[in-house]
Amino acid sequence: MGLPEPSVFDRSQAEEVRFDEASPVTGSSRIEAAWSAQDDGSASVAGAGEATGHVFTQTYLPWSGTLNPRWARNWAVYRHHLAGLVRSGHRPWPVLVRLYLLVVLIGAAADVFPILLSSILGDGASIVSVFGVSRNSLYAHVLGFFPRNILYYPVVTALIIGTMISEDRLNGTSALYFSRPISRLDYVMMKYLAAASVLGLLCIGTLLLFYFAEVLAMGRGWAWVADTFPHLMAAAGAGLLLVITYTSLGLGLSSVSTNGYFPAIGLIALVLGSKSLAEIVGLLFDQDVLYLFSPYDALANVGQHLLGIESNYALPWTWSLVSVVVMNAIALYVLAARVASMEVTRE
């Protein structure tokens, strides 16, 4: 037996009912059968005059309980992305990503090993003179192209930011964030801080480890510290610019995509591709203007000026600084504009 035919409903006998502020939905209404199980196709009212139902007014009230303070909510977002590196129960990190981060951490701190070796040998002045703290070694630790800015820092940033925002756009989990008392500003700040923390640990954290390892292992005095500490601060400033720039570009790319691979590949292509293109154009046509569009070269030009070493670029360092500022401004604008449209749709 197939489904019964619906009864014929005469629309001319129905009253148009409207609900607005003047006449809210209240009271009760009759509920009648719309389908019939009779074979002849006729419909009968189920319990005519008896079957009634109630329509209730639904009113949404604000939460009246005690909320956690703002820092606690922000800490939860920040911890969600980082705690999964070392413990379960949070956003999981793939095993290969963890292994690569461990390899990068060891590689970024490789400058410390010659210092420790020289202190063990006792007569390691020659080793320290080559691998110890100096203007060039501090610069190379932060802005050395190989292997740090070709295998370490851009790749790590790509692995971190690949799905940081794009997966929220894909899965609609941004609605979970913004249904809580978390503003879009806090959302962006904690995502940004989470990505910058990992990159900052690898770049600036190992830089400080390298410097203080020589101070302790070689027994450097206050005169040596007074001479080299300004160089350390300049290198840390260059490293901070690198962390900010890579993080801004990466999150800007992550915010425009719902695929975790596009931001990662896009960031690596932007950093390494612009560097290669600028090198080719510089060699063939003797033009240095494309170095302004390369994030790495712009940072390197500024970093060389900060540390007072001989520049490899014919462009003024102020132009490169303006280029770095413009890159960050564009990336942050794209990030802010895209996050502003995240809470209502699942893309």
Q: What is the DSSP string of 16-65?
A: P----SSS-S-SEEE---S----TT-----TTTTT-EEE-PPP------S
Residue 320: per-residue pLDDT: 97
Q: In the numeric block, which tokens belong to residue 47? A: 């319990």
Rounded to the nearest angstrom, the gap between the alpha carbon of residue 291 and the centroid of all alpha carbons in its chain is 26
Spatial distance between the Cα atoms of 65 and 21, rounded to a whole number of angstroms: 29
Residue 162: per-residue pLDDT: 85
Percent helix / strand / coil, the chain, rounded to 5: 65, 0, 35
* Contact yes or no for 213/278 (Cβ under 8 A): no
Spatial distance between the Cα atoms of 208 and 239, rounded to a whole number of angstroms: 11
Spatial distance between the Cα atoms of 143 and 104, rounded to a whole number of angstroms: 15
Residue 280: Cβ-neighbour burial (10 angstroms; 0-12, 13-18, 19+) = exposed
Residue 187: Cβ-neighbour burial (10 angstroms; 0-12, 13-18, 19+) = buried
Spatial distance between the Cα atoms of 284 and 266, rounded to a whole number of angstroms: 26
Residue 123: per-residue pLDDT: 64
Spatial distance between the Cα atoms of 335 and 7, rounded to a whole number of angstroms: 55
* 3-class DSSP state of 181: coil
How confident is the prediction along the chain (347 residues), in pLDDT tens digits per residue?
Answer: 444 444 444 444 444 445 455 655 555 555 444 444 445 544 444 444 454 445 556 666 666 778 789 999 899 899 988 998 888 777 788 899 999 999 999 999 999 999 998 888 876 677 888 899 999 999 999 999 999 999 999 999 999 998 898 888 888 788 778 877 788 999 999 999 999 999 999 999 999 999 999 999 998 999 999 999 999 999 999 999 999 999 999 999 999 988 889 999 999 999 999 999 999 999 999 899 999 999 999 999 999 999 999 999 999 999 999 999 999 999 999 999 999 887 654 44
Domain boundaries, the chain: 71-339
Peptide bond into 316 cis (omega under 30): no
**In 10 A of CB 281, how many CB atoms?**
15
User: Which residues share a beta bridge with 30?
Assistant: 52
